[in-house]
Every structure is written in structure tokens, then in C-alpha cells.
């Protein structure tokens, strides 16, 4: 508490104290602004970006008129043809689902100017000399926030953001259920668009200081392995067997039938459809298009234990006509 804080009066929200997982990284107000910080600090003129990515990644490029060029990935979700870089150019690679950390290590020795999008890989620590950014609200109940790991610094005095008005969806889900807060969740997403780079808010930082990171990491890993053990024979993403599993975001299940997602929704198992923009930017016969349509992102997060994961397994097997 600073000497300027009021004493007495009404209480604020009670939050457990603790330490952020990435307390040493630069704290900003969103994941996309963490990328913007890197682009501006490094002064890149052009960046190679995967076709298979979220369109919000492009927001800082449009805002600052930075050139970008798309590249394709292969069936391992790795860069099909690594581009030759000019002096003021870089490659942006997404650590897909938090499962491509081994490939990130490999890339770091092959690409001289690399930016890693760890929005889906919170527990994948940044590599020395590799610009990396995070969006922790993909993993935890937060209104906003982002982390930046870079040796470059941005010569700007950043104002501190305010997050209180972005919390309604978090409170509504807790108090009234998922459906009650969904519209507010979408509005909060929209509110993060084209924000200036600012320091992470005091509220978001306080929330991050109260998270049980080790428990969540272990729970996500355990849930992932439970799903993979029972469903891997049906999952066409065969490369998962060789992946490092360390607190990933979801269990990606490739369903070429195209009907599993709707089947699960009917059972009240909600799976996020990532990156619908990919369906616009890519041909129907492209790998990226097929991934966007067919990958069902099964939830594995810290809210769920063996019983919930067992329900998911049973419903998936039932969809394929198998009694568990």
C-alpha cells in the first residue's frame, strides 16, 4: 500500500497474494499489444506470418503499416519453407496449442530474427534471445493483459490501463453461469481492439499474483494425457505422440467427419472455434482450411477433473459408435 492510498471506508475485492509466473517480463495490457511492443522496439519493416493464425495478430501490422507476408505450415504444424530474411525482417511462429515447444527450440537455431507467439503456450518459457509474447487470459480468468520477453526496449512512457469495466463476463459466469456472461465476454473481446499499448492494470496484475500456477499446470497436463490415452487412435494429429506436454491450452482432436463439434455442443461440451478468419483467407483444399474446420479443441483446463474429462471421452466415443 502506497502513502497516497486511502485508509478506511469500503472494502475492495479480496484477492490472495502471491507471485506472477512471469514476474520478470514486461507487462502490457493485451497479447496483441505485446506483439506490437516487439514490432516497434525491434523496428521490423516486414514479418512473415502463418496463414493459420488469429486475425487479431495482424492488428499491430495494420496500425503501424508494417508489411507482412503469409506462409504455409505442414502437417506437423511446422513452417513449410523457412524464408530468407532481410536485415529488417523477421518470422512469426505460433506455438500451436502449447504443443510445439520442441520445434520452437529447433527454429531458434535456424531463424536469426524469430518472434514466438506463446498465446497458446503460457507454460513454455521464453528462450534467450528470442522475442516472445503471451496472452494469459487464454489460460486464466482475466479481463486482459499480456507479457513481453525481448532484449529490445520501447522508448515510450506507458500509462497504466484500467480493467474494472472489463470484468463483467468473469463475474456473470461465476454468479449466473456460462450463458449469462457470454455476450459480455464477446463485448470484452471487442473492447480490446486497437487499444494503445499500456502497462498492465493493477487489477489484472493482482489477479495474476493470486493464481495457483503449479496446480493448474499439473491439472492441464493430466487432463490432456487422460484424453490422449483414450482418443489418440481416433485423432488424426499423429504428431502429438512426440510433443512435449506441459500445461497445454486444449486437446486438439482432428475430426474429418465434420460433425463432432456440433454433437458435443448438444451435450453441453463447448469447444472454441479458433480463427474463423482462416476460412476466408485460405482455399478449401488447403491444410490451414482443413485444420480450422476439422480440429475440435477439447477443454482440459483447471476447472475440470477426471469426472468431467470422462464425460468428454464418453461423448466422443459415443459419437463414433463405441461404448466406453
CA-CA-CA-CA dihedral for 95, 100, 105, 109, to nearest 10:
-70
Average pLDDT, integer, range 208-233 = 97
Whole-number mean pLDDT of the chain?
Answer: 94
Q: What is the pTM of this model?
A: 0.94
Q: Domain 213-319 is in which class?
A: alpha beta
- What cell was used for 232? 489418440
Q: What are phi and psi of 36, to 5 degrees?
A: -60, -40
Mean pLDDT is lowest, of 3-12, 19-28, 202-211, for 3-12
pLDDT at 1: 53
- Residue closest to 252 by CA, chosen among 273, 268, 269: 273
pLDDT at 11: 78
Q: Domain 26-162+196-209 is in which class?
A: alpha beta
- Which pLDDT tens digit goes with each residue over 152-176? 999 889 999 999 999 999 999 999 9
pLDDT at 258: 82
Alpha helix ranges (H) inside the chain? 31-42, 59-64, 101-108, 168-176, 178-191, 202-209, 213-231, 260-266, 277-281, 287-294, 306-319
Q: For the chain, give every domain's residue range.
A: 26-162+196-209, 213-319
Average pLDDT, integer, range 267-276 = 85
Report which of residues 65 and 282 the model is more confident about.
65
- Which pLDDT tens digit goes with each residue over 256-266? 988 999 999 99
pLDDT at 4: 67
Binned at pLDDT 50, 70 and 90, residue 275 comes out as confident
CB 287 within 8 A of CB 72: yes
Residue 2 has pLDDT above 80, yes or no: no
pLDDT at 224: 98
Report helix, strand and coil shares of the chain as percent, to nearest 5.
Answer: 40, 15, 45
- Which pLDDT tens digit goes with each residue over 135-158? 999 999 999 999 999 999 998 899
10 Cβ neighbours under 8 A, 6+ residues apart: none
pLDDT at 16: 87
Amino acid at each position: 500500500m502506497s502513502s497516497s492510498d486511502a485508509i478506511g471506508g469500503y472494502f475492495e475485492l479480496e484477492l490472495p497474494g502471491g507471485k506472477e509466473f512471469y514476474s520478470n517480463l514486461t507487462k502490457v495490457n493485451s497479447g496483441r499489444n505485446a506483439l506490437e511492443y516487439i514490432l516497434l522496439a525491434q523496428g521490423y519493416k516486414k514479418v512473415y506470418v502463418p496463414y493459420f493464425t488469429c486475425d487479431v495478430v495482424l492488428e499491430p501490422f495494420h496500425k503501424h503499416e508494417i508489411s507482412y507476408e503469409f506462409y504455409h505450415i505442414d502437417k506437423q504444424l511446422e513452417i513449410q519453407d523457412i524464408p530468407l530474411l532481410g536485415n529488417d525482417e523477421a518470422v512469426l511462429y505460433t506455438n500451436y496449442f502449447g504443443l510445439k515447444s520442441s520445434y520452437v527450440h529447433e527454429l531458434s537455431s535456424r531463424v536469426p530474427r524469430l518472434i514466438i507467439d506463446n498465446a497458446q503456450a503460457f507454460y513454455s518459457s521464453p528462450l534467450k534471445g528470442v522475442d516472445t509474447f503471451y496472452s494469459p487470459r487464454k489460460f486464466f480468468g482475466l479481463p486482459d493483459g499480456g507479457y513481453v520477453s525481448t532484449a529490445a526496449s520501447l522508448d515510450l512512457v506507458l500509462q497504466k490501463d484500467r480493467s474494472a469495466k472489463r470484468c463483467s463476463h468473469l463475474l456473470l459466469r461465476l454468479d449466473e453461469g456460462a450463458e449469462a456472461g457470454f455476450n459480455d465476454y464477446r463485448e470484452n473481446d471487442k473492447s480490446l481492439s486497437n487499444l494503445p499499448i499500456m502497462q498492465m492494470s493493477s487489477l489484472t496484475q493482482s489477479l495474476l499474483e493470486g493464481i495457483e500456477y503449479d496446480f493448474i499446470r499439473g491439472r492441464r497436463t493430466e487432463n490432456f494425457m487422460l484424453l490422449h490415452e483414450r482418443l489418440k487412435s481416433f485423432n488424426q494429429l499423429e504428431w502429438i505422440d512426440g510433443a512435449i506436454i506441459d500445461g497445454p491450452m486444449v486437446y486438439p482432436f482432428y475430426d474429418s467427419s465434420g460433425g463432432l463439434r456440433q454433437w458435443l455442443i448438444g451435450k453441453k461440451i463447448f469447444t472454441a472455434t479458433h480463427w474463423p478468419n482462416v476460412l476466408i483467407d485460405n482455399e478449401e483444399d488447403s491444410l490451414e482450411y482443413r485444420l480450422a474446420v476439422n480440429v475440435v479443441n477439447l477443454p482440459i483446463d483447471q476447472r475440470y477433473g477426471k469426472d468431467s474429462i470422462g464425460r468428454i471421452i464418453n461423448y466422443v466415443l459415443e459419437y463414433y459408435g463405441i461404448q466406453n
